[in-house]
Amino acid sequence: TVFGSEKEKVINSLHDTSYFIMEGSRILQQQQAATHFLRNIIEDQARVGIVALSTFASTLSPLTTIDSDTARENLIKSLPKVASGLTKMCLGLSQGLQVGDAFGYEIIFLTDGEATDNIAGCAPSAIQSGAIIHTLAFSDSASHCSLLLNAVYYSMQKCAMLKTSNQLMDAFASLTLSTGDYINEPVQLESVGARTSDWFNGTVSVDQTVGNKTSFVIIYEISFPSVYIQSPSGSVYTQTNMSHDVSQKTVTLNIPGTTEPGDWKYSIQTTILQALTLTVTSQAAQADVPPITVKTHMNQQFSDGTKPMIVFAEVSQSYRPVINADVWATLEDPSFTGADAFQDDGIYFRYFIKMVNGRSSLKVRVVSLISILVQLNHPKPPVFEEPLDVGNFTRTDIGESFEVKLSGTAPPNFPPNRITDLSAVIQEDTVLLNWTAPGEDLDQGTAKSYEIRWSFDLKMLRFNFSNGYSVNTTAVSPQKARSVEQHSFNLNITIQNGTTLFFAVQSEDKQNAKSETSNIAQASKILPGPKPSGISNPDMNLTGLVISLCVVTINSLKIKPAI
Summarised one tens digit per residue, pLDDT across range 58-74 is 888 888 888 999 999 99
Specify the 3-state DSSP secondary structure of 470.
strand
- pLDDT for the residue 153: 47
User: Cα separation of 358 and 378, whole Å?
Assistant: 44
418-478-554 Cα angle (round to 5): 35
- pLDDT for the residue 114: 67
Looking at mean pLDDT, say which of 173-177, 289-293, 536-540 comes out highest: 289-293
pLDDT in tens, 383-400: 444 555 667 899 988 877
User: Cα separation of 111 and 121, whole Å?
Assistant: 17
pTM, to two decimals: 0.76
CATH ID of 1-181, from 3.40.50.2300, 3.40.50.720, 1.20.140.160, 3.40.50.410: 3.40.50.410
Cross-strand bridge partners of residue 2: 10
User: Cα separation of 377 and 383, whole Å?
Assistant: 10
- pLDDT for the residue 5: 31
User: Cα separation of 21 and 455, whole Å?
Assistant: 67
Sign of CA dihedral 39, 41, 45, 49: negative
User: Cα separation of 79 and 50, whole Å?
Assistant: 7
Q: Is the peptide bond before 381 cis (omega within 30 degrees of 0)?
A: yes
- Are the C-beta atoms of 342 and 349 separated by less than 8 Å? yes
Specify the 3-state DSSP secondary structure of 137.
strand
User: Taking residues 198-207, what's their average pLDDT?
Assistant: 95
User: Cα separation of 409 and 412, whole Å?
Assistant: 9
User: Cα separation of 41 and 31, whole Å?
Assistant: 14
Continuous segment of H or E residues that includes residue 330: strand 323-332
CATH 2.60.40 fits 292-404, yes or no: yes
pLDDT in tens, 71-86: 999 999 998 887 777 7
- The reply to whether 292-404 and 423-548 are identical in fold is yes
Task: Name the residue among 200, 194, 209, 383 with its Cα closest to residue 293.
Answer: 209
CB contact set of 471 (below 8 Å; sequence gap of 6+): 452, 453, 454, 489
What CATH class does 423-548 carry?
mainly beta
Task: Name the residue among 294, 207, 217, 293 with its Cα closest to residue 258.
Answer: 207
Beta strand extents in 160-240 (DSSP E only): 187-196, 199-206, 210-220, 226-230, 236-237
**β-sheet with 484-490: strand ranges across:** 423-427, 430-436, 484-490
Domain boundaries, the chain: 1-181, 292-404, 423-548
